[in-house]
Amino acid sequence: MKRLLLLAAVLLSAPVLADSRLPPASFADTQLADPAKEAQAKELMATLRCLVCQGQSIADSDAEMAGDMRALVRRRIQGGERPDAIRRWLVERYGDYVTYDPPFGPATALLWIAPLLMLAAGVLLARQAFRKKPR
């Protein structure tokens, strides 16, 4: 029992130590006063990847760094910067990896074209199937 408790304590200690003791950045969890700008910020945050918890967007993540990234997005939106410019700024630093809205390129071509290819294959298949029906 004692050993089990100790093990549980060890499991708890890691996440506690992995964060700083500073409060979240201003704007990390505070909405902008202007609802239109907040909506812009929200939309952008949902398409930016959290760099620490790599499967989540910064809008979804509780990681401190995601909070700091939300603060960065909100501050820049409030300063009048366009969401596209902010995304470009981050892509310049982290590569396309940071955005969930990947631009068309050699690496992502298949991703964008695949639906069209599949649709074409479906049309072909359907045409063959219908033509073969004996009358």
Q: Which chain residues interact with another protein by CB under 8 A? A: 17-22, 25, 51-52, 54, 64-65, 68-69, 71-72, 90-95, 97
Q: How many CA atoms lie within 13 A of 41 on its CB side?
A: 25
Rounded Cα distance between 129 and 31, Å, is: 56
Nearer Cβ to another protein, position 84 or 92? Answer: 92
CB of 103 to another protein, least distance (A): 14
Alpha carbon distance, N-terminus to C-terminus of the chain: 77
Nearer Cβ to another protein, position 2 or 21? Answer: 21
Nearer Cβ to another protein, position 8 or 125? Answer: 125
Rounded Cα distance between 65 and 61, Å, is: 9
CB of 124 to another protein, least distance (A): 13
CB of 66 to another protein, least distance (A): 10
Rounded Cα distance between 103 and 95, Å, is: 11
